[in-house]
Chain A
Amino acid sequence: MSDQVYTLRIQRNTRRDDGTMDTKWDEFQVKATPLTPVLNLLEDVKGNQDGSLTFRQSCRSAICGSCAMRIGGKTRLACKTQIGEVVDENNTVQITAQQNSPVIKDLAVDITKFFSKVHQIKPFLQEGSESAEEVDDTAFDQVNHVTQCIMCACCYSDCTMAEVSDEFVGPAALAKAFRFISDPREGKKSDRLKVLSNDHGIWSCARCTMCVAVCPKDVKPMEAIVKLRTRAMDAGNMDNYGAKHAQAFHGDITSSGSLNEALILNRTLGVVGALGEMGAALHLAKKGKIPSPFPHKIENLDEVQAIYNELEKNPLDVETKAENAVPE
C-alpha cells in the first residue's frame, strides 16, 4: 500500500506551577500507509519533529496496555489502532489523553485513580469457607471471560458513569471482581457480592455498553456486571435501589404483561424516597405525563405466566460461557 500524508492533531498538556493545565493543539504531518499503527506515527513525530511530545508505550503488542489514549473520539491502544481506521475525510485524526484520570503531560495520565479502583475490589483469591474442594473442567468458563483484561483503562476512560462520578468503581474493576467471584477457588464470594451491591458498585453502571465497544481485548465488562447483578440478587442482596428496581420487572410482566410505571417508583425508592421524587413527578405531570396505575393487560397473558411457571419449575441455564475454556 502506498504512503499517504496524515495529519495528527495532538492535544499538548503542560501543568503550570499553580497546578492548572496549559492546553494547546499541535498538528504534525506524517507519511504512512493506512495500515500503520498510530503508535509508530507518534514515535515518528517524537523522533523527527518534536522530541518533547510525551506519551506512554511499551510492548507494541496490545499486551501491556500502556499506550491507551483517545484517538478519533474513542479510547484505543495506539499500538493496535491503524491510522486508516480512524482518520476523517481530510486524513486527520485528533489524539488526546485518556479521560477520567488526571493528565501529567501531553498524552500521559496518572493511573493511580484507576488502579485504586482495581485494588478496592481485592484483586486476589481469598481463603474462606466458600472455596470449592474440587474443580472440574467447566469451572473456569466464566473466569476465562474476563482474564484477557490487560488493565489498559480504555473502558474506564470512556465510561459514561465515571465521567460524572469519581466514586463509581468502574468497568475494569468490576470485570476483575467477576473474575474472582466466578472462580471456584474463591473463599469469600458472598462477602464480595455484598460489598459490590453498595453504592457506586454494580448497580451504578448505566448500561451504556461503551466499555464493551471500546475494550481492545473483547472482555465485555458490562456483560460481567450484568452477571454480577444476577449473582448478587441470587445471594440475597436485595436492599438497594438497583436490585429493587430489577425485581419489579418479572412481577409486572407476569401480572399484566406491561411495566407498571406508576408503581415502579414506589417499589424502587419506597414511600419516603418516592415522596422525595414528588417534585420530579409534578414536573412530568405538568405535561400530562402521568402513567396509569392500571396498565393495559396484554392478550394471552396466561402464556407468559405459563412460561414463567415452567422456568421456575425447570430452570434453564442460559448464561454465556467462554468458548474453549479448557482446550480439548
Chain B
Amino acid sequence: MTMNFAYYTGCAAQQTQKEADWAAEAVCDELGIKLHRMNKASCCGAVSLRETKPAFALAVAARIFSQAEEMGMDIATICNTCLQTLSQANNRLKNDDDLLDDVNEVLKKSGVAPYKGTIKVKHLAWVMVDEVETDLLKSKITKPLNGLRVAPFYGCHTLRPEEIFEADAGEKAKHLDTLIELMGGNPVSYDGHDKCCGFHVMLSDAQEMRQMVVKNTGSAKDAGADVMITPCTLCDMAMGSYQGIAEKSTGKKVGLPEMNFAQLLGCAMGIDEKKLGINRLHISPRPQLTARGVL
C-alpha cells in the first residue's frame, strides 16, 4: 500500500542541505512512499519566532497543519528543529480547545481553513522504522553495511521534550540505532549521541558551538565510529560542514565523516551516489563505505 505524506522539508533542505532532500526522495521512491510537497507551507519559524512573535508562531504552524488537512495526510519532515517546533505547536493546539479556537479565528479572518486538530507530525526517520514494513525495508538493502560502525547522532529537537512527540523520544529513542541495524551496520554507543550540535548558537557563541562539534564527533570517533549519521539538516551542517572549521579553531583533529541518515540508507539500497549528493559532504565517507563494499 502506498504511503502518502505531506512533506515538510524545512528551509535548510531547500538551500544549503539539498542533499538531504534528494536522498529522502530517492529512498522513499524505492519504498513506494509518496512525498507530497507543501507548496503553501511557510518556514516554521524555529524557536526564534516563538520568542519574537509567540502568537504568530502558533498561527503559522496551524496554517501549515490546515494545509496538511486539506491534503488529507500527516506531515513528515527531515529537519529536527521543524519537527520540534511543529510538534510543540500541535501539542498545544490539540490539548487546549480555547487556544485552538482563538488561533482558528485568526486563520478564518485571513482566508485560511481552520485547523481541526487531526494532523500528526512525524520525522521521516521514524516512518522508516515504525511504519515501513521491516521485511520490505530489508528487501531493499542490496548493499548492506557489513558491520560498518555508525554513530547515531539523534539531535536534541527529535528527543526533547519527550511528551510532545508522536514516537519514542528522550532516553527511550532508538530509531536511528534500529535503522543502522536494519542496514547491516553496528550502532556505536557514545557519550554525545543525545547532545547539542550547537547549530542554534553558531552565530552568538561561535567558539562554544565549535567545541560542541569537536566534543560530539570526537567522542563518537573515540568509541570506534567509522561514520556518523544525523536525522537533521541543521545537525548535518554543524557536525559535517562545520567540523573542519571547528577543528581549526579548537586545534583538535577529528575527521569523522558525517552524513544524513537518508544518504546512508540510500547507499545501503544501492542508489546511485549522485542522486544522494554524497559529493556535497565535506568529509567524504567514501573510503569507509568502499572498504565495506557499500559503494
A residues adjacent to B (C-beta < 8 A): 73-74, 160-161, 163-165, 168, 203-210, 212-213, 220, 226, 229-230, 233, 240-242, 245-250, 252-253, 257-259, 261-262, 265, 268-269, 277, 279-280, 283-284, 286-292, 295-296, 298-304, 306-308, 310-311, 315-320
Contact = CB atoms under 8 A, between A and B. Distances in A.
B48 A249 contact: yes
Given A164-B208, A213-B159, A213-B161, 14 more contacts: A204-B208, A207-B47, A248-B48, A250-B45, A250-B52, A257-B43, A259-B43, A280-B245, A288-B280, A295-B14, A303-B112, A306-B111, A307-B110, A318-B58
Interface string B41-64: 111011111111111101110010
Given A206-B212, A258-B43, A261-B11, A307 B51 contact: no
B54 A319 contact: yes
A250 B59 contact: no
A78 B152 CA distance: 29
B15 A292 contact: yes
A268 B203 contact: yes
Given A161-B208, A261-B16, A311-B59, A287 B242 contact: no
B275 interface: no
B30 to A, nearest CB: 25
Nearest to A164: B211
B245 to A, nearest CB: 5
A290 B51 CA distance: 27
Interface of B is mostly: helix
B2 interface: no
B215 interface: yes
9 contacts: A164-B211, A207-B200, A249-B52, A253-B49, A303-B112, A311-B53, A311-B59, A318-B55, A318-B92
Interface stretch (B99-107, B125-133, B224-232): B99-107
B205 A307 contact: no
Contacts of B12: 261
A218 to B, nearest CB: 10
B133 to A, nearest CB: 27
B130 to A, nearest CB: 21
Given A287-B282, A289-B241, A306 B110 contact: yes
B11 A165 contact: no
Interface residues on B, range: 35 or more
Nearest to A268: B203
Contacts of A226: 47, 50-51
B45 A249 contact: yes
B201 A206 contact: yes
Nearest to B240: A287
Nearest to A286: B282
B139 interface: no
Contact of B15 (A229, A280, A291, A298): A291
Contacts of A230: 51-52, 54
A306 B203 contact: no
A306 B109 contact: yes
A42 B241 CA distance: 45
Contacts of B162: 213
Contacts of A320: 92
Contacts of B59: 307, 311
Contacts of A220: 161
A300 B84 CA distance: 24
A212 B109 CA distance: 36
B50 to A, nearest CB: 6
Contacts of B47: 207, 226
B244 interface: yes
Given A165-B208, A230-B52, A204 B201 contact: yes
B94 to A, nearest CB: 14
A252 to B, nearest CB: 7
A269 B50 CA distance: 21
A261 B15 contact: yes
A307 B279 CA distance: 41
A250 B31 CA distance: 37
Interchain residue pairs A-B with the least CB separation, the first 8: A306-B110, A208-B196, A209-B160, A160-B196, A208-B156, A291-B15, A164-B211, A316-B55
B45 A233 contact: no
A264 to B, nearest CB: 8
Contacts of B209: 206
A253 B43 contact: yes
B195 A160 contact: yes
A289 B212 contact: no
A220 B163 CA distance: 13
Nearest to A283: B245
Contacts of A302: 111
Contacts of A290: 16
Nearest to A287: B280
Interface in B22-76: 39-43, 45-56, 58-60, 63
